[in-house]
Amino acid sequence: MSKGGQQFITFIKKEFAHVLRDRKTLLILFGLPVVQILIFGFALSNEVKNSRLLVVDHARDAVSGAIIAKIEASHYFDLKKVSASTHEIEDVFKAGAAQVAVVFPPGFGSDLVHFNHAAIQVIADASDPNTANTLTNYLANIVMDYQTAELARPDTPLQIGTQVRMLYNPQLKGAHTFVPGVMALVLMLVCVMMTAVSIVREKELGTMEILLVSPFRPELVILSKAVPYLILSLVNVASILLLSVFVLDLPVRGSVPLLLAESTLFIITSLALGLFISVRAKTQETAMLVSMMGMLLPTLLFSGFMFPIENMPKVLQYISNVVPAKWYYNMVQSIMIKGLGFEAIWKETLILAGTALLFLVVSFKKFNIRLA
């Protein structure tokens, strides 16, 4: 091996020693994806259930009792309280102790028998509009079921029912969207922030100058800093994939080598962004905040994994196109979830490769051997 090659390897070893020495940061780096996958996989869901319900029963008859029992039996509701007065609703809502209230008027049961018609009032705390909508609808369904089961004579005409099937994801879990999202986020975090901060740190401490006056080529000094993070990131990708396959039962439907290759491309793009920040930033604080606000937040916002891009105003939808994580996220979804091949993602690949190249070239042009 040439002398330069040996030097390069020595430098990489030095950088590895730096990274591995900082146990706390390492723990976070490997712990973060694991904890996120577990939270997303087992704690969060978009399903609405166990909602706290308040019942105001002025009627206290057989029919209202039967409907209350039916509501109680459904796992959507958790009956908090049966109250005698409507005045209490406001207080209970304001204390956040219930999200929806059902009011049976006096004489509910006898109205139903004598007039064939009676009304139930459903009051929802609509400060959370989606939950309010869903809960009102659940209640309507329960009441409807009661009506068809108990009240309707067999000859009641014109009943239209529905049979609903949730395709792909019956429990409304988010695994399909968040596994690719967590991958993009963690890779961004490791590559952009770690690289940028560790280079700026050497600038701040003054050790960068010592490295730069050595006969070793300055470009290689910087490159050798990126290598450990490349390897760390690949370990992270592997651990996220293993978790999603074995813990979340979310298999990789497409080609694994292709997924790893595209991940490597995204890692290189992120490293290039990290280098770019480190070349410009003077203090660690600036480097951190810029990578945080300029890279991580856009990744969270615009990759489409936490927030639906289609609901955003047009301007923000255009902005989302310049966020590299969005393209990576699309690729991972295509490969992992839909099982598509390279022909479906060549465009994304080109965009990422172009971004990486652009930032690498700009960084090396701007890279100044003299720091002062």
Among 7, 177, 278, 299, binds another protein (CB under 8 A): 177
- Reference 63, options 6, 120, 10, 7; nearest CA is 120
Among 165, 215, 249, 370, binds another protein (CB under 8 A): 165
Q: Is 219 in the site for another protein (CB under 8 A)?
A: no
DSSP secondary structure string for all residues of 98-111 = -SEEEEEPTTHHHH
Q: Is 72 in the site for another protein (CB under 8 A)?
A: no
Among 50, 110, 207, 368, binds another protein (CB under 8 A): 50
* Least distance from another protein to the Cβ atom of residue 159, Å: 4
* Least distance from another protein to the Cβ atom of residue 123, Å: 5
Residue 238, SS3 per DSSP: helix
Alpha carbon distance, N-terminus to C-terminus of the chain:
35
Site string for another protein, 115-154 (x = CB under 8 A): -xxxxxxxxxxxxxxxxxxx-xxxxxx-xx-xx---xxxx
Spatial distance between the Cα atoms of 265 and 244, rounded to a whole number of angstroms: 21
Site string for another protein, 294-323 (x = CB under 8 A): ---x---xx---xxx--xxx--x-------
Residue 88, burial from CB neighbour count under 10 angstroms (0-12, 13-18, 19+): middle
Q: Is 235 in the site for another protein (CB under 8 A)?
A: no
Q: Is 44 in the site for another protein (CB under 8 A)?
A: yes
* Least distance from another protein to the Cβ atom of residue 353, Å: 26
262 and 183 in contact (C-beta within 8 Å)?
no
Distance (Å) of CA 359 to CA 166, 244, 273, 362? 44, 32, 6, 5
Among 163, 206, 249, 372, binds another protein (CB under 8 A): 163
Q: Is 206 in the site for another protein (CB under 8 A)?
A: no
Q: Is 264 in the site for another protein (CB under 8 A)?
A: no
**Which of residues 170 and 215 has its CB atom nearest to another protein in the complex?**
170
DSSP secondary structure string for all residues of 270-286 = HHHHHHHHHHH--SHHH
Give the sign of the dihedral formed by CA 63, CA 64, CA 67, CA 73. Answer: negative
Q: Is 110 in the site for another protein (CB under 8 A)?
A: no
275 and 363 in contact (C-beta within 8 Å)?
yes
Which value, in Å, is the radius of gyration of the alpha carbons in the chain?
Answer: 29
Q: Interaction with another protein in 4-33: which residues (CB under 8 A)?
A: 22, 24-25, 28-29, 31-32
**Which of residues 357 and 371 has its CB atom nearest to another protein in the complex?**
371
Distance (Å) of CA 211 to CA 181, 205, 206, 283? 37, 12, 9, 18
Q: Which helix (H) or strand (E) holds 55?
A: strand 51-57
* Least distance from another protein to the Cβ atom of residue 350, Å: 22
**Which of residues 35 and 238 has its CB atom nearest to another protein in the complex?**
35
Q: Is 284 in the site for another protein (CB under 8 A)?
A: yes
